[in-house]
Every structure is written in structure tokens, then in C-alpha cells.
Amino acid sequence: MNKETIDKNPILKLSFVFALEIIKFCDELQSQKKFVIAQQLLKSGTTICANAIEAQNSESKADFIHTFKVAAKEGEEAEYFLLLCDLLNSYPNYNHLLQKIESINRIIGKIVSTTKK
């Protein structure tokens, strides 16, 4: 996998850029000693793209769907932690990340539902 391949695929590109932004946000959370949320968000927020990349090499349609469903679960988890951060006044404001993950989650949901047909 290389950057060129990621750039050519819309969901890979969106989730990759999201992962980079999540890493920066989690660095900021860790600098503020918000370690638990930072670790959970870092894992879920960066795994979405990893699963989407893995799905590109699926062995079957069922495997493709399953791998994207895993990405969807991670996306929902990331959205949950971002919502927590958004609602807590003591956390930095990264509203744009919440908007991005909502969009990514909708796209992944559409990929799964369309592939099932």
C-alpha cells in the first residue's frame, strides 16, 4: 500500500486523513494528561483506515463486507469518544473531527449495504 493508492480511493483517503488528524488530537490529549480517552480514540480512529485497506485484499465478497463491518464498528467507537470530548468543557474543541467521522461512518455504511445487494 502506498500514498498513491490511498489517494485514488475516496474512503481510504478520507479515513487516512482522519487517522492523521486523530493522531494529532490524541497527542494534544496526552499532553493534557487525558490518557485513557487518548488511547481509546487513537486505537479506534486509526484502525478504520487499516480495516478499509485490508478490505481491498478480501478473499471474497463476504470477507469484504465483514472487514468493512469491523471498520464500521471502529468508526462508531471513534465517534463515541469524539462526542464525549465534544461535550466535556475541559477537552480541546475538535468539532470538525466529529463531523468527519459522521461522514466516514455514513460512507462505510453505504459501502456495506451496496455490497450486500
Cell of 57: 485484499
What is residue 93's predicted lDDT score, i.e. its pLDDT? 83
Per-residue pLDDT at 12: 97
Which residues, 6 or more positions from 47, have their beta carbon under 8 angstroms from its beta carbon?
71, 74
Q: Phi and psi dihedrals of 56, rounded to 5? A: -65, -20
Which segments in the chain show pLDDT lower than 70?
Answer: none
- Select 3-116's CATH number: 1.10.260.40, 1.20.120.80, 3.40.920.10, 1.20.1440.60: 1.20.1440.60
Q: Indicate the domain borders of the chain.
A: 3-116
| pLDDT at residue 1, rounded to an integer | 76
pTM: 0.94
